[in-house]
Amino acid sequence: MMTSITKKPMYIYLLVLTICATGGLHLWRTLFDNFSVHILGLDGHHVGMIQSVREIPGFLSLLVVYVLLFIREHKLSALAVLILGLGVSLTGLLPSFGGILFTTLLMSFGFHYFETTNQSLTLQYFDKQQAPLVFGKLRSISSASNIIVSILIFALASFLDYRNLYLLFGIAIIGVCCWVMTTDPTEPDLVPQHKHMIFRKQYWLYYALTFLAGARRQIFIAFAVFLLVKKFDYSLHEIALLFLLNNLINFFLAPLIGRSINRFGERKVLSLEYGALIFVFVAYSVVDSKLTVAFLYIADHIFFNFAIGIRTFFQKIADPSDIAPSMAVGFTINHIAAVILPVVGGLLWLIDYRIPFIAGAILSGVSLILVQLIPGQIKLHG
């Protein structure tokens, strides 16, 4: 099945943009904690504020519906990644708290608008059995691009400072996106998408799982790597090496997740994710071993990939014309808590760094309960 999928122009289009977007974000995240601690001298509440600002564009993803009135969806996808590249390239040129707030916002607008259109285009161009495989394969390719970025950071960090690392990778992304925008991978016979906001009560479970996933995920993004640097004193090279190992593992495992969804169904796959994440978050709050916390970070990433089951669940229950606007609404719901939680979590960190991680365990428990409501009969076989 993957052979026929990989021949589709849209698959190649999304593949190239995914490499650029995830590679750019990976560079930004790999350098961010060391850059913020060792160059800017920021503390937990600063990092929490930056992470909240980073999620504002995700909260505003519902505006994608209106942007699509003026630009075709695949063009918007490429333009978003170009904007991400611009934000990355400027990060090291503005080494201040205000500067990193601005570049983070710019980079994040690009990434979140790409992710919204990427998910929408995948669900539109690939059927219910193909979509989990495509999501899994793109996750795998993302890990491969992150591996290459990690190797480059590891090799170049001794020769280039933060400013030049950000600039080099950002310019490369902009260049690739300029080329991608000259291509047209669309097909004429797709179901037309609604160009207005869609919010339907029959999709409530998708909305609820999406909201909880966003809240839980932001706790990890904002504080897991910060914990590695702040408490366990991980260096830039150690962070890059950890990311390299993490992406190497996920390169091989991500495609298996798509096949597992087709074989076992979303309910079982998501139940495994949420059950495991309860353990992972509790462990974050109690471990004192530098090696163990690295294992938890990798495990967290592995189970995060299972979240594609939320989107494939939606594809199976949704009206095909609802996909584009619903992905935009879903991204906004995903980021409602994300705008608030990092700031609140940063303040709670100052009281006790374990509090945000305990909250993540509680959110995972609620998700585990709700996911049991996914109907078992929507599972596809073959």
**73 is written with which tokens?**
């969806």
Predicted TM-score of the model (pTM): 0.81
Per-residue model confidence (pLDDT) at position 52: 73
Q: What whole-number distance in Å separates Cα of residue 51 and Cα of residue 171?
A: 24
Q: What whole-number distance in Å separates Cα of residue 228 and Cα of residue 238?
A: 10
Percent helix / strand / coil, the chain, rounded to 5: 80, 0, 20
Fold of 8-184+194-378: Growth Hormone; Chain: A; (1.20.1250)
Q: Can you give the residue ranges of every domain in the chain? A: 8-184+194-378
Instruction: Give the residue from 259, 277, 256 showing the smallest Cα distance to 379.
Output: 259
- Integer CA distances (angstroms), 52 to 16, 46, 233, 234, 336, in order: 28, 10, 24, 23, 10
Local structure of residue 194 (DSSP, 8 states): P
Helix (H) or strand (E) holding 60: none
Instruction: Give yes or no for a contact between 231 and 307, defined as CB atoms under 8 angstroms apart.
Output: no
Per-residue model confidence (pLDDT) at position 13: 94
Q: What 3-state DSSP class applies to 300? A: helix
Per-residue model confidence (pLDDT) at position 270: 93
The total of other beta-carbon atoms located within 10 Å of residue 329's CB is 24
The total of other beta-carbon atoms located within 10 Å of residue 73's CB is 18
Instruction: Give yes or no for a contact between 100 and 186, defined as CB atoms under 8 angstroms apart.
Output: no
- Integer CA distances (angstroms), 11 to 2, 84, 147, 187, 227, in order: 10, 21, 21, 12, 37
Instruction: Give yes or no for a contact between 116 and 331, defined as CB atoms under 8 angstroms apart.
Output: yes
Per-residue model confidence (pLDDT) at position 342: 67
Question: pLDDT tens string for the chain (382 positions)?
Answer: 566 778 788 999 999 999 999 999 989 888 887 787 777 777 767 777 787 788 788 778 878 888 888 898 899 999 999 999 999 999 888 888 888 899 999 999 999 999 989 988 998 888 888 888 898 899 889 889 988 888 888 888 788 888 899 999 999 999 999 999 999 888 877 777 767 677 788 889 999 999 888 888 878 777 787 788 888 888 877 877 887 888 888 888 888 888 888 888 899 999 999 999 999 999 988 888 888 888 998 888 888 888 889 988 988 888 888 887 888 888 788 777 766 776 777 777 778 888 888 988 999 999 999 999 988 655 443 3
**292 is written with which tokens?**
């163990």
